[in-house]
Structure 1
Amino acid sequence: MPDFRELVEIHDRQFQKAAIDRRIYFVPVDEHEEDRLTLQHQIFFDLMGRELFLPPLEYPMRILDCGAGFGNWACAMAEYFESSQVTAIDIYPAVLPESSDNLEQQIWNLNDTLAGTYERGYYDLIHSRCVGPGITRSRWRSYVRDLSKLLCRHGWLQVAEYYYNIQSDNGRLTESHALYKWGTLYRGAQEALGRDPRVARNLKQQLVEAGLHDVREHVFRVPIGGWHPDSMMNNIGIHNVCNIDAMLDSHAIWPLTHVNRLSAAGAWTKEQVSWLTAAAKQEARDISLKLYMELSVQSLVQSFGGLLIYPDTLFGVGKGDGVIAS
């Protein structure tokens, strides 16, 4: 039985040894990453209108957070919904910032089936966010099917994933930019590791192919830098620079130095990766590029074949734009 709290230092960053040894998760679990995830949680909170989730639930009583990380979302849910029971699962048992009596932390590899361990038809709300770097490509369909089976009748599932491709709103980001090269190398490394760095682009399709329906999709263009004309999005973009700055380091340092097929010479050295990320960080601060990343948020309700009518106001949809689900 591995010690899931054991760490290993690689290129001056702390990783979970069990996750690296078993090729499960390749992002550091140190204080730098904890700070980044705290900032990212605030960005997502602001992005969704200062809400912790999009589905129209007044008071979910049984909540499951998959890939809880350092527990930002789970802790916020436990604090806000004091009468609910929140279960936070992750491969790494992080020390949570605040421990509430209604919050339970469990160790789980999301590549393993959830059936049998977690009760079927039990949860009012299941939340899964940014677990793409840890879930294998072949697992996705069964993963979302597992989650749907754990929902109670009229329970909601919300799944959010980045599309790991930094883009330009005005088309000024080109192949010559370090950010473009970083994205190409990172996605290539993820694919070599059996992951799907483009899962955000086909997440809705994954849900439908898993037998799920009535899926509501929101794709947010999360700005990087203070270039957006909308004041709220501009403020998000200003804060997101620090998030992306840290992500460029944390997400790339292990994959780019350990995947041999990145170039004819094999994996990159730490120095080569540091040079690339330094150049990419500088470009991320260039507001003339009008950079953004896509965040795909999928929400669905467990209907068990029933007819669902979404209200006109659901998810901010305008009046008259309600959806009748089959």
Structure 2
Amino acid sequence: MSLRVRSALSAVLIALACLLAPVGTLAMWATYEIGDSGRYEATTAPLATDPAVREAIAAATTDGIMREVEVGPRLRRPVRSFVHEAVRSFTQTPAFHTAWDAANQAAYDAVMRALRDDRERAVTLDLAPVTEQVKRQLTHDHVPFANRIPVEHTEITVLRPADLTEFRKGFHVLEFAGFWLPVATVVLAVAGVLVAVCRRRAVVATGLGTALGAGLLAVAIAVGRRLTLAGLPSDVSHAAAGAIYDTLTTTLRSVSWLLLGLGLVVALGALLTERIARLRRASAVPTPAPAEEPTQVRA
């Protein structure tokens, strides 16, 4: 194999590896972070203490209760304010954390089932467990008519049918590629370095390409957040949705920055070792002795 062919083949292999690195990272995140029930539950459990999420749950639960409670026009505003404060106070209790975990796990199971079948229907989060806990708390505090509050299925839409179709296609692709893409990325990168004529330069190119791909992934996560929030309905809390998005993508962002730093370190290390090798070769070359001047013969 000629040197020109080896250089071209190495460049192609390294370029493919660098292109697949961010996609493989995304696929691993979807498969092993979002697709795993235990990891998902551990990741989203702290959301029960997020102020924006608690406020969104309080507002939705209050709306559900007020739709079922019959009060006069003059009393509706103070009653709503009182119920809202009661629900907001409840969101700071351990009982709410229990209700949140149950409702969140139910929503996760519903989303996973929806992504893995072909039914086109919205995925919703049922707030009935929260309403039930609030009713018990208000009854315990001897609030008038609290025992008459009906526990209805107050639902928050998690995924709309139109969004579900797009998510399903992407999820299937990422779920399948979650294992093979990272393996292919490593194989291509190693092959590209081994085939290269100058392996140090190939390592530098691989490191810089990996860092560039990781940087693009970090930018894509930020752009995805903005687009996600921009596409939400006006009645959905953008602050709560942003908190949920940030929580779910924490690991993905961390891995992208880790790859960025690792790629730069590998590239810098290869450049430094090449510089050191040049200096050693230069110092190993013996300095030529100065030429002796010819001796003049006197007559």
What TM-score comes out, normalization by structure 1 length? 0.26
Of structures 1 and 2, the larger Rg is shown by 2
Q: Pick the structure with more helix per residue.
A: 2
| Greater RCO structure (CA 8 Å; 6+ sep) | 2
Q: Which protein is richer in strand relative to its size? A: 1
